[in-house]
Amino acid sequence: MPEPLATQLESWKEKAINGTITIDELTEAIKVLRANRLSAGIAQSRARATKATAAKVILNADDLFADL
């Protein structure tokens, strides 16, 4: 992380702890933090694919209990 960015993040952190951060500063901090998350898009697409696959496994309760 570049030095000016680290300094700015530390400043936002202090303001948040003290309760003096503004909505604009908080919005900017969130944008910066999200921009630095390199794997967030990959993880999100994998989670969607897994969720969609899991929903297709059990079609109905009769199929689930057919072997009992």
Model confidence band, residue 62 (pLDDT cutoffs 50, 70, 90) = confident
Give the pLDDT confidence of 32-57 residue by residue, as tens digits: 888 877 666 666 666 666 555 555 56
Residue bearing the bigger pLDDT, 4 or 41: 4
- Could you tell me the pTM of the whole model? 0.49
For 38, the token pair is: 């390199």
Domain extents for the chain?
3-65
How many alpha carbons lie under 13 Å from residue 36 in its C-beta half-sphere? 11
61: Cα separation from own chain's centroid? 33
